[in-house]
Amino acid sequence: MRGSSSCPGSGGRGFGGILLPKRYGPRLRAVNVAAVLSLCIALLPAGAIAAPLRILALGDSLVAGYGLAQAEGFVAQLSAALRSAGVDAQVIDGGVSGDTSAGGRARLDWVLGDDPQIVILELGANDGLRGIDPAATEANLDAILARLVREHRAVLLAGMLAPRNLGPEFAQAFDAMFPLLAKRYDVAFYPFFLDGVAGDPALNQADGLHPNAAGVAVIVKRLLPHLMPLVDRVRGSAAATAGQG
C-alpha cells in the first residue's frame, strides 16, 4: 500500500485534495488533519503498527527481585537492556518469591493471561533448596514446557544447579533434568541462571542466595545473548505475517 494513494497530503494548499477556506481558521484545519490521519491508520494492514513484544519472566524470587528496589530487579533491568538493544518489549513479571515448579505450574493459566510471545522459564531453585524429588520437579517443568510449546510460544529455559549438601545422587539428577528438558522440547537453553553470580559475595545479598542489583546486572548481561535470537525470530515472524496481510 502506498501512502500517497491512500492518505494524500495537502500539496501545500489543502488536505486530502480538499481546499479549506480561510474563514474556517486553523482549528478546523487541525480537526480535518486529525480525521484524515485517523482514517489512514485505520486503512493500514494488520500488524503495520507494531505492538511491543510481550516477554513473560516466569519464576521465583530471582525473577521477583527479592530484597531489591523495583528498578533493581530482573524484570526492570532486562527491560532496560532490551530498550538499549533497540527492542520494544513489555517484560511481564511472573515471579513469586518462594515459588516451586509446582506453584508455577498451578498458576500457569493466570500468568499466560497477557498472551506472551516469549517465556523465560526460571523455576526449580526452591525445589532444590527443599530437597524435592527431582522427578517431581521434572514432571512439573515438563508440563509447563509442553503447554508453552503446544501454544507456539518461544521459550528460553533457564537451568539451575542443586545445593551440594544434598548429596551427589540428588545433585546429578537435579542438574541433568534441565538440559534434558531443553532437548526434549527443542527450546533455547541458558544452563545456569546464576552463572557468574553464585558464590560471589560482591554480587549477592547478605543471605548469600539472592543477587544484589550488581548481580542482577550480570545475570541480564549473560542471559541476553541467549534471548535475542528468540526476539529476532518472533519479530521476523510477526513482520512476515503483517506482510501477508
DSSP 33-90: HHHHHHHHHHHSPTTSSPPPEEEEEEESHHHHTTTS-GGGSHHHHHHHHHHHTT--EE
Q: Is the Cβ–Cβ distance between 182 and 145 less than 8 Å?
A: no
- Residue 207 catalytic? yes
- Active-site pick, 61, 79, 93, 99: 61
Collapsed DSSP state (helix, strand, coil) of residue 120: strand
- Active-site pick, 4, 5, 152, 207: 207
Q: Is the Cβ–Cβ distance between 118 and 154 less than 8 Å?
A: yes
- Active-site pick, 5, 101, 210, 237: 210
Q: Please name the amino acid found at residue 47.
A: G
The alpha carbon of residue 145 and the mean position of all alpha carbons in its chain are separated, in whole angstroms, by 15
- Residue 4 catalytic? no
Q: Is the Cβ–Cβ distance between 54 and 89 less than 8 Å?
A: yes
- Residue 226 catalytic? no
> Which residues are catalytically annotated?
61, 207, 210
